[in-house]
């Protein structure tokens, strides 16, 4: 029997208010990690018209002279908010800093002399996912949505479409037949723009310079719907149009709603926070399982108690696509990979200042040298271990 369904995922540009906050939080984290890789950081940000507020808990083992204001203004400038006429300006916005040190009650559960004894920075449930439906081992809807917003930013910054402004978002709906993507049902783009451009110019420009180069032609047919700036006007955007917060785009950051999410955000958190590090580890393991052709899809779930190094539980699910029994696959994974936070941090080299690059266009499915969790270097080891266990 043929089964059909439509799966939709969205992405947002780096000029979206929530993404401004993610970038600022991760830029501050990177600046601290450059001076002190062992720092404990939980940096949050809020933006609105003319204002940036940063807060949270930061504790360092050495003196770190962090120029918060400079980092914040440079981040906003790089995004493209450089003129008050577009509603937000890196030079003129007010900045309030309310950062303070981490609670010692929390710190004592994380600080350990041995790497393997380091406790989880908080309780929580983390998920990682991979699918063989794209070369990136990601669901197709979120992959296309991210590529559209990346292209929106590219053609804005290089001047191809000079009427574009930093804020924007995309949504892609993909039709699946028997769990395989067969066509794009709909493409939705909302792009902030200048005052002096017509809707016809915007639509023509985005179809030619954004959609056509990104979405494969064989996935678009006569029934594919394309919606561009359907309100008819998107001049007021960014923090002037909507307030933003760190960590409010957790589905955009992960798998576009295709897989489960434990609820914890990533940006602004150092890797002692398992919200971030264990989610990266779970993705790393799931991707290697699928790359090893041990399943077509894989979900890894890990749960932790604060202060405890060993996870409470590790669960593996393959949605019926596994090529070997799940119990054998789970045993192989647990014998190959160590899910204790200290071991994750060490194996994936997560104390590096690499996080601002993660804060836009997804933490997963991007082939960047800093993204150690995207490597497929466990493939042969997993294959061999499964073979030994069978």
What residues act catalytically? 16, 18-19, 44, 57, 169, 234, 242-243, 248-249, 269, 273, 275
Residue of 115, 145, 104 whose CA lies nearest to 9:
145
**Per-residue CA distances from 204 to 159, 187, 197, 200 (Å):** 16, 14, 12, 6
Distance CA 320, CA 18 (A): 36
* Cβ 330 vs Cβ 251: under 8 Å: no
- Dmax of the chain from CA atoms? 67
Strand runs (DSSP E) across the chain, as ranges? 4-12, 40-48, 51-59, 82-83, 88-89, 94-97, 124-131, 164-177, 180-193, 225-228, 244-245, 297-304, 313-317
Q: Which residue has the tokens 């406790």?
A: 119
**Per-residue CA distances from 174 to 10, 117, 149, 210 (Å):** 12, 44, 17, 18
* Cβ 341 vs Cβ 351: under 8 Å: no
Distance CA 270, CA 280 (A): 12
């Amino acid at each position: 029997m043929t089964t059909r369904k439509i799966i939709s995922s969205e992405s947002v540009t780096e000029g979206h208010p929530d993404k401004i906050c993610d970038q600022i939080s991760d830029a501050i984290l990177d600046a601290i990690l450059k001076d002190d890789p062992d720092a404990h950081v939980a940096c949050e940000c809020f933006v609105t018209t003319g204002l940036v507020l940063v807060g949270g808990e930061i504790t360092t083992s050495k003196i770190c002279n962090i120029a918060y204001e400079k980092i914040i203004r440079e981040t906003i400038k790089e995004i493209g908010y450089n003129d008050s006429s577009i509603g937000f300006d890196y030079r003129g916005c007010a900045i309030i800093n309310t950062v303070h040190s981490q609670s010692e009650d929390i710190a004592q559960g994380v600080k350990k002399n041995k790497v393997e004894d380091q406790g989880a920075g908080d309780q929580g449930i983390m998920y990682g996912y991979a699918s063989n439906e794209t070369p990136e081992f990601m669901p197709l809807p979120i992959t296309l949505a991210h590529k559209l917003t990346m292209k929106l930013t590219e053609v804005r910054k290089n001047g191809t479409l000079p009427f574009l402004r930093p804020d924007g978002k995309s949504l892609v709906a993909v039709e699946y037949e028997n769990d395989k993507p067969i066509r794009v049902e709909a493409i939705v783009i909302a792009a902030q723009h200048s005052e002096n451009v017509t809707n016809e110019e915007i639509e023509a420009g985005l179809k030619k310079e954004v959609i056509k180069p990104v979405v494969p032609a064989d996935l678009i047919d006569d029934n594919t719907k394309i919606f561009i700036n359907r309100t008819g006007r998107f001049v007021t955007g960014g923090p002037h149009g909507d307030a933003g917060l760190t960590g409010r785009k957790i589905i955009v950051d992960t798998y576009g709603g295709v897989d489960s999410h434990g609820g914890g955000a990533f940006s602004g958190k150092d890797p002692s926070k398992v919200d971030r590090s264990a989610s990266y580890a779970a993705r790393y393991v799931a991707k290697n399982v699928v790359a090893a052709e041990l399943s077509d899809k894989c979900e890894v779930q890990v749960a932790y108690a604060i202060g405890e190094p060993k996870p409470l539980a590790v669960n593996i699910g393959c949605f019926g696509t596994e090529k070997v029994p799940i119990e054998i696959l789970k045993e192989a994974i647990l014998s190959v990979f160590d899910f204790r936070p200290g071991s994750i941090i060490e194996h994936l080299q997560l104390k590096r200042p690499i996080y601002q690059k993660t804060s836009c266009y997804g933490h997963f499915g991007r082939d960047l040298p800093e993204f150690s969790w995207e490597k497929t270097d466990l493939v042969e080891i997993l294959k061999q271990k499964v073979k030994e266990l069978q």
